[in-house]
Amino acid sequence: MGTIRYLAHTADAGVEIVAASREELFVLGARAVYQLVLDYDAVESRVERRLEVAGPDLAELFHEWLAELLYWLDAERLVFRKFGFVFAEDDRRLEATAEGEELDVDRHRPHGEVKNVTYADYAVERDENGDFVARVIFDL
């Protein structure tokens, strides 16, 4: 299983994610976003939605994925826990099946808001072991 490490950052929140696969990277990215704003362990799989994102490369695709999750949380009040992914061969498109539920303030105990996924210090790379490493700063 990969890792999420939260980084100290002035007025914002930073994360570094290390994942063995693209799928794990995208799952851990979702977990990182949600853990910043609510009790993620309380989220259950009650509804399913289909999400689609696109970008010119994997790094931008990951950025768009995180922004899409924020849209669903903000506009639709949905938080997701389980995912199924289909990536295009060129890593420029992603279709995901996402399971989760509507935000419940009593169970999920919201404690903040992520406004945006920034490009400050943003990177998605492969390390010498072949793992995916992402660094993301979120505007709070």
Do residues 33 and 139 touch, judged by C-beta distance below 8 A?
no
pLDDT band at 66 (very low <50, low <70, confident <90, very high): very high
Q: Whole-angstrom Cα distance, residue 53 to residue 95?
A: 7
Residues in Cβ contact with 21 at an 8 Å cutoff, skipping those fewer than 6 apart: 132
pLDDT band at 120 (very low <50, low <70, confident <90, very high): very high
The b-or-e profile of 14-50 (16+ CB within 10 A means b, else e) is bbbbbbeebebbbbbbbbbbbebbbebeebeeeeeee
**Token duo for residue 51:** 């999400």
**pLDDT score for 7:** 84
Q: Whole-angstrom Cα distance, residue 116 to residue 70?
A: 8
What average pLDDT does the structure give for the chain? 95
Q: Whole-angstrom Cα distance, residue 140 to residue 38?
A: 13
Predicted confidence (pLDDT) at residue 24 exceeds the cutoff of 70: yes
Query: What is the pTM assigned to this prediction?
Result: 0.94
Predicted confidence (pLDDT) at residue 13 exceeds the cutoff of 70: yes
With both helix axes pointing from N to C terminus, report the angle between 22-37 and 58-76 in degrees, rounded to the nearest 10. 40
Q: Which tens digits make up the pLDDT trace of 69-87?
A: 999 999 999 999 999 999 9
**pLDDT score for 112:** 86
Q: Which of the listed CATH numbers 3.40.50.970, 3.55.10.10, 3.40.50.150, 3.40.630.30 matches domain 3-139?
A: 3.55.10.10
Predicted confidence (pLDDT) at residue 11 exceeds the cutoff of 80: no
**pLDDT score for 9:** 67
Section 60-69 average pLDDT = 98
Chain-centre distance of CA 113, in angstroms?
Answer: 14
Q: Whole-angstrom Cα distance, residue 47 to residue 123?
A: 32
pLDDT band at 135 (very low <50, low <70, confident <90, very high): very high
